[in-house]
Amino acid sequence: MSRAVDLNRREFFRSAAAAGVLGMMPEMGHALAAHGVKYEIAQSAVVADAAPRHSIRFAVCGMSHDHIYGMVSAIQRGGGVLAAAYGTEPDKVAAFRKRFPDVKMAESEEAILNDPSIQLIMSSKIASERAELGIKTMKHGKDFLSDKPGITTMEQLAAVRKTIAETKKIYGILYSERLEVRAAVKAGELIRSGAIGKVIQTINIAPHQVTQHAGDAGGNGGRPDWFWNPDQYGGILCDIGSHQVDQFLYYTGSTSAEIAEAQVANVAHPQHPRFQDFGDMVLRGNKGFGYVRLDWFTPDGLDTWGDGRLFVLGTEGYIEVRKYTNVAVNKQGDNLFIVDAKQSRYIDCSQVALPFGPQFVADIVNRTHIAQDQEQCLLAAELAITAQNSAKHVTIER
């Protein structure tokens, strides 16, 4: 889409809103207008389908979690070319080859690490093994992008930081619940524009589904053995919680924080006694407060893997994001609600561009940190690990 076309499209929506023309908007627009709620379709400052400015060659090393597909898509949007892939689980390799039939399958990790034409390696291998691969990648002169959690122990974190300092390479973690969700991107834009004043607190509710029926969230067809072992997946606060800690830091603007309280439990999975199916934590940052609730109890009646929700309280308003669905209203995700001193608005964010992929590729080419502040990325990992290590294990009667 050219910039001229994009501007015309934006002008159409402005004109339609001014004229009260909701007939061409989703059904929800009619219902909201009837109750005096302003309905908007957000248009991003970045043209969603703009041609990539850069090009790099990247490879996949490990595909244990299906998040790898979203990771590949993000980098391809930024101009990345998938040059090679390697995995050890036959079912995951077969699925990957089906999705990318033209990809060159390498014989080993070393073949990818030693390929001088590859600039970036990404991985969603077993969580506890990602940091070791990332360190090897950086020592081989390449940048690294991990699925979350990119780091599961303090020892790994220290080694990653040391290697970054030595090699000057990028160790990225794709916290997709913020970076690859359009409504979360728009929330960041609004907050940085001062739309709700100073942020006081974030609340993240992050329910997940153990056995999913479709999609790339990781559980389609059942879960592997490592999924149930906290030594491998990192524990619920480290694994899922790293997403939410990242959001807390980003939306509050906190550059330092502590875990005020954390707890975990196995409520309903006695056949996997070390698995944690519930957890929560309270965070206290230098610029705001945070609360996070995590669980594995999404029922089959929901139309997606989890009703992820974000609440941001400011001094002059608040924002709610319903990321993946709008329960009992419609199945559309990327819903944003904002209330300030003047009005209540619903913002459909389905047209907002996702900047992470292009920005991360630009970081690799230009040696910058536009897509993801390196220290915030690692601080989110550190706080999630700290929460996990300090969490009280609670038993609830079944």
How many Å apart are CA 146 and CA 67, to the nearest integer? 10
How many Å apart are CA 134 and CA 156, to the nearest integer? 10
Helix (H) or strand (E) holding 18: helix 3-18
Residue corresponding to tokens 């053995």: 225
Strand duo 257-265 + 278-285: pairing: antiparallel
How many Å apart are CA 58 and CA 157, to the nearest integer? 24
Which tokens sit at 238? 């480290």
- pLDDT score recorded for residue 49: 55
How many Å apart are CA 189 and CA 126, to the nearest integer? 33
Torsion over CA: 77, 82, 86, 87 (sign):
positive
- pLDDT score recorded for residue 15: 41
* Residue 73 CA from chain centroid, whole number: 13
Instruction: Please name which of 385, 95, 387, 388 lies closest in space to residue 218, comparing C-alpha atoms.
Output: 95
> Is there a contact between 204 and 292 (Cβ–Cβ < 8 Å)?
yes
3-state percent breakdown (helix, strand, coil) of the chain, nearest 5: 35, 25, 40
CA atoms lying within 13 Å on the CB side of residue 74 = 28
**Torsion over CA of 249, 250, 256 and 259, rounded to 10 degrees?**
0
CA atoms lying within 13 Å on the CB side of residue 301 = 2
Nearest 5°: CA angle at 67, between 180 and 41? 25
- pLDDT score recorded for residue 24: 41
In this prediction, the residues of the chain whose per-residue pLDDT falls under 50 are 1-24, 47
Question: How does 112-135 read in b/e, with b if 16+ C-beta sit within 10 Å?
Answer: bbebeebbbbbbbbbbbbbbebbb
